[in-house]
Structure 1
Amino acid sequence: MHKLLIAMLFMLTTVQVQSAQDGHDVLDHLQNTGFESPDLTAGDGKAVDPDHWFYFSSVEGPRSGVAIEKKRHGSQSLRFKASMETNSYRGYAQWFRAKPGIRYSFSVYVINGSTDPMPASAYGQISLEFQTAEGTEVQRVHGPVWSSTLPMNKWETFIVEGTAPEQAATGTAVITLFSKDSTGFGTFFVDDIEFTQTPSL
């Protein structure tokens, strides 16, 4: 049952992510990897979406966004907050131009929320997804998950790697927070994304 639920959530994520492709630049690299734009210090301090990243969610409700509470470098990071809905998810993603045979590495630094730490019933995960020129997903690679054991005083790095298949024209770097039954509890912060590409051996 648990595996079926996760599979359904990933399928829903695909629909949400693919629907957001239109209107977003697709470059060879990721942009705004430190989440320094937009500059919250120039506004009212409320959470907003980071430039060049798009938001997706299975439910309505307050969105996550750029934050100043914690940062590894610079003055901002990206904050993720669990939904109150059971078996829900929300996250951010960015498209990139994929080349068949190229191996992509996508890594993030993550730290637990100090005042609203992650419970065991919620977890975060990164993934790489590859699509055809028509937008059909042809491959998805999942990275490791983080949950209640994520430190609150030290940034930890998580990495996922994947080689673009022959049909791939675009790829998506995805960060997701899954909430099984956390009733809205659980926050983590992401910063200093690294994205590299090398020819496959």
Structure 2
Amino acid sequence: MITYKPLSELPIRDASELWNQSFEGYIVNASMPLERFIARIGNDGLSLEESLACYVDGAAAGIVMNSFREYDGVKLARNSGTAIAPDFRGKGLGKSMMEKNSELYEKQGIHRAYLEAISTNTAAIRLYQSVGYVIIDRLLIMSNEQSLEELNVQNAASTYTLVRGQAAEVASAAFYLPGEV
């Protein structure tokens, strides 16, 4: 039997452990210590009241984390992480979780919902598309092992400037479209 609880009903340590358990063995390491989990809730404006803990026959099986905002009179939702614990993957639980989350969005009067998926996670993308999501863009993620100072010196002649800051500061960038992402 599949049941759901708002994450706000769990002790914060249990919610953090559910996140880590659900992302175990994922394409990238999404685990985080308790302190970082708590900081992410605040930094990303996540709603524990409107995020879900999923259980199968009483066993913790998955998580969905959501944030909400209004932009230009339109209510927006962002699914900031959906994952299923390894023992429960491949059993149709994702569909149930996404449908439950859609009900939650409907109750909230959400006009648009967003999420991100790693392009190689084709099973998740198919799942999201099956509940109405459409691909609107593709992101390129790059990594670097040099310090920002070294990289900036090496690329001094380039048209790019590296600036250290918080993710939320991107809203001040000329290319940022606040109602689209």
Larger % of helix: which? 2
**TM-score, normalised via structure 1 length:** 0.28
Larger % of strand: which? 1
**TM-score, normalised via structure 2 length:** 0.30
